Chains A and B, each alone.
Chain A
Amino acid sequence: MKKFIDESWLVLVLGAVFAVLLAGAQTSFSTRIRTNQQRALNEAIGEVVPGTQRSEVVPIEGYPRDVFKCQDADGRLTGWAIDAVGLGFADKIRLVIGLSPDAETITGIKVIDNVETPGLGNKIAGEGEDAWANQFRGLKATGRVVRVKQKARPENNEIQAITGATISSDAVTRTVNEAIERVRSKLPTP
């Protein structure tokens, strides 16, 4: 026992000291980080549900994450936004799903948190006119979205996987499907 302590006391002490240091850093930064993440979430809601000026959380039974009722400046319903998390290739993927006011159509999705492989999997979060996630716009929320590979023209509720990133593409599709399934039927009637 003495030999063990003799060999490793520094490792143990450093471990304890660094643990305290990390706990301190985590506590002091967590509020700012959460504010940043909230801002990113609000921006994402504005993107996936066009015309949204404000949103409020509506509690959905059996769904642990936030679901938002989105309204424009006059209080008219512009749609719904669902905060969803799923397991990707590397780690968790967090995304926001936009639904039309009648919850029949997906108005868009946006991946707001991911650590997928740069250049391959992280194309799920790509932006711009030919963003991969744009495929989800206009799909039906009434049935499942299906991921296909190497199909020239994806049709009715199919989306094309990213070449070389099938697992990431599947993760997003699965997360979208599961979230919509759990939330859609429980949305309050507008």
Chain B
Amino acid sequence: MNRSRLIMVLTWMGWHMLSQTLVASGQPFHPADDEQVLERLSFNPTDPVAREIRALRRNLAKNPHHLESAVHLATRYIELSRSEGDPRFLGKAQAILTPWWQESNPPPPALLLRATIKQSAHEFDSALVDLDEVLSIQPSNAQAWLTKASILTVQAKYDDARRACQPLARFTARHVFLACLSDIAGVTGQAAKSQMVLRELLAHPVVSDPERMWISTMSAEIAARTGDAEAADRSFSEILKTGAKNQYLLGAYADFLLDRGRHRDVITLLRHETRADGLLLRLAIAEQALKLPSFQDHVATLAARFAASRDRGTNVHVREEARFTLVLLRNPQEALPLAQMNWKVQREPADARILLESALAAGNHAAAKPALDWLRTNHVEDWHLQRLAKLVQQESR
């Protein structure tokens, strides 16, 4: 190859590599030093959680056909997938339960966990089929009713969701039943009333810690939606003070802070949460607003992670990807189809918001219609959504 051709090729390669910096995995390398740390594990093996998991695994290994041991371990894994934000734990739960799923009539506890795992993969309809099967065998299974109600809420089938809450009145504690209904009421035009109920429930001593966290997060989110910033901030801070780690809460609080323009607080909150895509996304949005240098790296990392997720043929992070594309890449033309695809699967206020924002930015007001219809039919109380809806209507006039 002659020199000038070589220069052309090298220039092209250089450009290509620069454009891929931090995105593609690099060349395999031979670490120079034995001490070089390549990976940090979620848990130190001496951590109590790791010990507990090891004990449960040993227990199951001794008796691999013992359903209760399997369900216990799988449940722990599902909880870990949530607290750590790591979907690998879901795959582990699934592997443990596979033998029971292959039976012609899987036992209800195994079906219930399958529904939960499917729900995490956004296979909502298939999860509902499993739940209905559990309920046909055990009509008093409160957990199945509650999970069903939550999936139906995400799908914006509010009447069905309310019907799924009803049996809880008979099969479980009163506060769980009321919280189930309040969650739906908080979106569908009865925010004030559901806020009142939730606060009453929180004053009740029988409410356990995880339940308290669930109810206060719900209450904080309703306050944020109805524009009661002070109450929202107070609720979020109180839950965080309990030290409970969970990705959903951090994400919801970060969104609230972003909306209030409190970018520095978002950075303080999420500085160390770069492993979870949803949290890294919010961190990068704050960095973008503050023009911090770490912004570029984080955008490149997110782009690579979304690409890696597409490579494996899954897309459970479409809502996040739409937001990433709209807010960080500032590409409404590509964000809109993602937001529309996401709206077909889930219909929560956050999903309506990304759809409206993308449609507005892309200048495609017809695309906003499904979200506008949803807002109107269900009398959704959310000041952001109302503001966006007004903008769409003004602009399309």
Determine if chain A interacts with chain B: no
